Amino acid sequence: QAKALVILENFAQTYEKIKEEAPLDLVITTQIGDQLPLLKRYLVNFVVKHIKRMVPSHKLKGTVSFNQALAKGTMVDYKRPEVTGDDIAFLQYTGGTTGVAKGAMLSHR
């Protein structure tokens, strides 16, 4: 029942393969250098994408870049949600390097 996904552009093609089975309202893509100073950001993202070729091509339509999402967020008033100890705080996943990949729902408690 997820509504949005923040995904490193390097893995966007993975979501592209399952997007019909797991449709989302919003997909935010980010690049490795997005939070670096401007010059370093462009240099790192260029090297990762074009020199090292670590970003497989994908055709996800209607995505928003991480930096665009942050900029839009500064224009919205924040309303603090009601949170209880039983609410899910984090979904933690293992990579399955020592066995089957697993997920755990961690609550605020």
* 3-state secondary structure (DSSP) of residue 89: strand
Name the pTM for this structure. Answer: 0.71
* pLDDT score, position 98: 82
Beta strands at 103-107 and 88-93: parallel, antiparallel or unpaired: antiparallel
As a whole number of angstroms, the distance between CA 34 and CA 67 comes to 7
* pLDDT score, position 99: 83
* pLDDT score, position 51: 97
Per-residue model confidence as pLDDT tens for the chain (109 residues): 889 999 999 999 999 999 999 999 999 999 999 999 999 999 999 999 999 999 999 999 999 999 999 999 999 999 999 999 999 999 998 887 888 888 889 999 9
**Domain boundaries of the chain, sorted by first residue:** 4-78
- Let me know: does 69 contact 27? Beta carbons within 8 Å: no
